[in-house]
Amino acid sequence: MSQWVQLRIQAKAAQVDACENALLALGALSVTLQDNADQPILEPELGTTPLWDDTQIIGLFDADTHTAAIVEQFPLMFAAEGGVGSVDLLWEQVEDKDWVRAWMDTYKPMQFGPRLWVCPSWCQPPQPDAVNLLLDPGLAFGTGTHPTTALCLRYLDEHIKGGEEVVDFGCGSGILGMAALLLGARTMTGIDIDPQALTATRDNAQRNDIRRDRFEVYLPQHTPAVQADITVANILAGPLNELAPQLAQLTRSGGKLALSGLLSHQADDVIQRYNEWFVMDTPKQQEDWVIISGTRR
């Protein structure tokens, strides 16, 4: 018998907060929001949490929950939370299976270029003699599954020859910095605005036997003067445009630059922004995403 049931609700953006608060007040163990109309939200402004116009809300409850009582009480609680109008409710039984094992089974070793593999800790590396980066999903963004991360990893596999000083602005999980070091870079400076990302980077570097003196991590305001041989930044178009002078300053004359987190239609604007400091290359694309690169003038 299943241990959980879930209440599925179709709502408009203006109804989401009231629905979420009502579900939690009625004993939901968790509440999940999903896009209900294939509406992308590609680059929200900083400090905002935009919602889809049509949102699917899923409240998870214990299987012993009195579902009829919840259905009866929900409209009253929804109205008490400021909800306007009505919403459709649908109870579903949650499949009973080993969710941890199911999740682990979906995350497999991935290859990026001729040399580099990213492997979860519970899998045997397919090529033990290759450059194998051990990384499990965790606190911060970046496991190699997203096209922008994959593009950056392939760039590093191609351009790291040995002995480079590398900067990763927006280091997230530390995946790009660790890949650079394992491929032969001498040092890595990771920079991120999120303290959790710095923690994740340190933990992941330790798991890969990378000495702390080879991989230093900083908040942006504490970053020391660096002249990198290669600078990578996998963030978003808006921040990349704003950071152009800073990323140029971090890169030595003749040094390399790789930028991702960009949709294909955003590439021209970012290239134009960086032309002042870099000779830019033709973008490379994977699905709807691109990486742009260049050489410091």
Annotated binding residues for S-adenosyl-L-methionine:
149, 170, 192, 234
Decide: 84 and 75 in contact? Cβ < 8 Å: no
| Listed residue (177, 227, 226, 225) closest to 197, CA to CA | 177
- Burial label, 190 (beta-carbon count in 10 A; 0-12, 13-18, 19+): buried
For every residue of 265-297, DSSP letters joined together read GGHHHHHHHHTTTEEEPPPEEETTEEEEEEEE-
Residue numbering of the annotated binding site: 149, 170, 192, 234
What's the residue count for the chain? Answer: 297
| 124 Cβ contact list (under 8 Å, min separation 6) | none
Give the C-alpha separation, 233 to 139, whole Å. 19
Give the C-alpha separation, 233 to 216, whole Å. 16
| 255 Cβ contact list (under 8 Å, min separation 6) | 227, 228, 229, 230, 231, 295, 296
- Dihedrals phi, psi of 89, to nearest 5 degrees: -115, 140
CB atoms within 10 A of CB 254: 9
Lookup result for tokens 């504490």: 222
